[in-house]
């Protein structure tokens, strides 16, 4: 496979399978409605064998539901050892969803740009299948390189109509977060999935571009085949995921890229210009760009505490090899909160300035409705055709009868399976013991077995 170097081919690669759960928004025109359930109902009744278990619907929770009740919809693939076969199945499911959605917009982003709703998000979940005796190694290595993969997939640069960073979803979503010491706890970036017995990457945003998605999958496959485990340093991970979500391609992530390049080389252009950057440029094409704050650096949006050391761009000695920036910028202000994920208070939509408490400076310019319509039309076209090009928005309206048919024809028939999934993902017995080794500041700590 292109990009996998001799370090991997020097030994017999263990069998690794990959499967996808892709979540997207179906909007009419800029907000999802219960019409999305009607699209899923059409899929279900056309092919119940495939789509009863391989689709899902999501709803906003709590105060977020006041902004918009309906959230993303999900299509899932079967596990594949071959990435070509996986992408071919995904193409088939995308075409079926596009046909079922009709004139509605399909918007593959992590968070809708005019909402500030941490429970109303969409993600790309990658399920990595490996023999149980390799779970610890695969989990540790994916955790080590995951911040780079988060940046590669980042596609939610706006929240509440304001420019945020790379991924508001990663920074704020209730359903993911910095790594805990319990790999079975569901709401974190990387888990051991109770129901499926896989290692599940939950942190990536949706990716419409199949070429970029292929790079992501090849990188995951190469990492999963590494023979020895990297140490897990949760504090370092929390800092790096913050940089990936709120800043961009920082010197720390560049160092991580150099380390990954000995195994698989992600083209740097995909990290220097992310999906979020492309989307932000499209928005700015339809409205004037506000002046850049002095706190904004060449790598993106910065808080005062997270700026580069003065000599970082000219003096590489200012960076610690494979580590974090100088002591002045070693951890973002909320790193401890990310590290203690279980103690984090849920974000409250519209009760705070977007980005407040996340260590990121936001641009105080609301996105125009015209820019939003043109961007969603372009994303819809890209998802359906694979071509990224400007298209004119078209008129589409929600329908109360389609929403009612969706509830009757999809949500209610699947309710028993939805309840089973909730039990299996949170309460099902753990299949095997798992020993998780963590290092903090380079010092090994005690191994613990989760039961």
* DSSP sequence for 342-411: GGPPPP-TTSS-TTTTTT---B--PPPHHHHHHHHHHHHHHHHHS-------------HHHHHHHIIIII
Question: What's the rounded Cα separation, in Å, for the pair 430 and 184?
Answer: 8
Angstrom distance (rounded) from CA 400 to CA 270: 41
Residue 412 belongs to some domain of the structure: yes
**Residue 1: inside a domain:** no
* pLDDT, tens digit only, all 451 positions of the chain: 444 444 433 344 568 999 999 999 999 999 999 999 999 999 999 999 999 999 999 999 999 999 999 999 999 999 999 999 999 999 999 999 999 999 999 999 999 999 999 999 999 999 999 999 999 999 999 999 999 999 999 999 999 999 999 999 999 999 999 999 999 999 999 999 999 999 999 999 999 999 999 999 999 999 999 999 999 999 999 999 999 999 999 999 999 999 999 999 999 999 999 999 999 999 998 876 554 433 333 333 333 333 333 443 344 333 333 344 433 334 444 444 444 443 333 333 333 344 444 444 445 457 889 999 999 999 999 999 999 999 999 999 999 999 999 999 999 999 999 999 999 888 777 765 454 544 333 333 223 223 2
Report yes or no on 18 lying in a domain: yes
> Which two tokens mark 450?
């989760």
Number of domains, the chain: 1
Instruction: Give the Å distances, CA to CA, from 235 to 125, 179, 241, 356, 368.
Output: 23, 9, 10, 21, 38
- Among residues 12, 7, 30, 10, the alpha carbon closest in space to that of 371 is found at 30
Q: How far is 380 from 394, CA to CA, in rounded Å?
A: 11
46 CB neighbour count, 10 Å cutoff = 12
**What range does the domain containing 120 cover?**
6-450
Asked if residue 260 is part of any domain, the answer here is: yes
Task: Report pTM.
Answer: 0.81
Q: What burial class does residue 439 get, using C-beta atoms within 10 Å of its C-beta: 0-12 exposed, 13-18 middle, 19+ buried?
A: middle
Q: Give, to the nearest 10 degrees, the angle between helix 35-46 and helix 83-101.
A: 120
Distance CA 67, CA 69 (A): 7
Q: Coil, helix or strand for 345?
A: coil
Residue with tokens 């005019």: 114
């Amino acid at each position: 496979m292109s990009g996998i170097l001799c370090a991997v081919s020097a030994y017999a690669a263990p069998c690794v399978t990959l499967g996808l759960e892709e979540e997207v928004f179906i909007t009419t025109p800029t907000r999802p409605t219960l019409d999305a359930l009607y699209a899923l109902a059409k899929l279900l009744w056309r092919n119940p064998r495939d789509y009863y278990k391989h689709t899902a619907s999501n709803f906003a929770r709590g105060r977020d539901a006041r902004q918009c009740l309906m959230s993303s919809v999900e299509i899932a693939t079967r596990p594949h050892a071959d990435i070509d076969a996986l992408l071919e199945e995904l193409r088939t499911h995308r075409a079926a969803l596009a046909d079922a959605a009709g004139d509605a917009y399909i918007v593959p982003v992590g968070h809708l740009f005019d909402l500030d709703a941490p429970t109303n998000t969409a993600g790309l979940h990658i399920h990595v299948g490996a023999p149980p005796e390799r779970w610890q190694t695969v989990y540790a290595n994916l955790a080590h390189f995951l911040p780079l993969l988060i940046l590669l997939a980042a596609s939610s640069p706006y929240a509440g109509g304001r420019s945020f960073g790379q991924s508001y979803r990663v920074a704020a979503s209730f359903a993911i977060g910095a790594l805990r010491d319990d790999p079975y706890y569901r709401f974190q970036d990387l888990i051991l999935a109770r129901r499926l017995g896989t290692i599940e990457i939950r942190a990536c945003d949706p990716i419409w571009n199949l070429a970029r998605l292929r790079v992501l999958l090849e990188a995951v496959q190469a990492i999963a085949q590494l023979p020895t485990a990297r140490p897990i340093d949760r504090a370092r991970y929390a800092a790096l995921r913050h940089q990936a979500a709120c800043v961009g391609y920082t010197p720390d992530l560049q160092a991580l890229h150099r380390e990954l390049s000995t195994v698989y080389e992600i083209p740097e252009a995909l990290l220097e210009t992310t999906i979020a950057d492309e989307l932000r440029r499209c928005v700015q094409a339809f409205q004037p760009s506000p002046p850049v704050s002095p706190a904004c650096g060449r790598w993106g949006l910065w808080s005062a505490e997270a700026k580069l050391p003065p000599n970082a761009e000219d003096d590489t000695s200012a960076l610690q090899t494979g580590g974090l920036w100088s002591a002045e910028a070693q951890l973002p202000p909320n790193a401890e909160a990310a590290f203690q994920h279980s103690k984090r208070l849920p974000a409250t939509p519209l009760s705070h300035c977007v980005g407040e408490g996340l260590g990121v400076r936001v641009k105080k310019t609301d996105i125009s409705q015209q820019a939003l319509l043109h961007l969603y039309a372009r994303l819809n076209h890209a998802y359906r055709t694979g071509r990224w090009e400007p298209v004119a928005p078209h008129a589409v309206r929600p329908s109360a009868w389609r929403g009612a048919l969706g509830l009757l024809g999809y949500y209610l028939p699947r309710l028993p399976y939805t309840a089973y999934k909730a039990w299996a993902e949170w309460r099902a017995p753990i299949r095997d013991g798992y020993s998780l080794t963590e290092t903090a500041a380079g010092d090994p700590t005690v191994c613990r077995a989760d039961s």
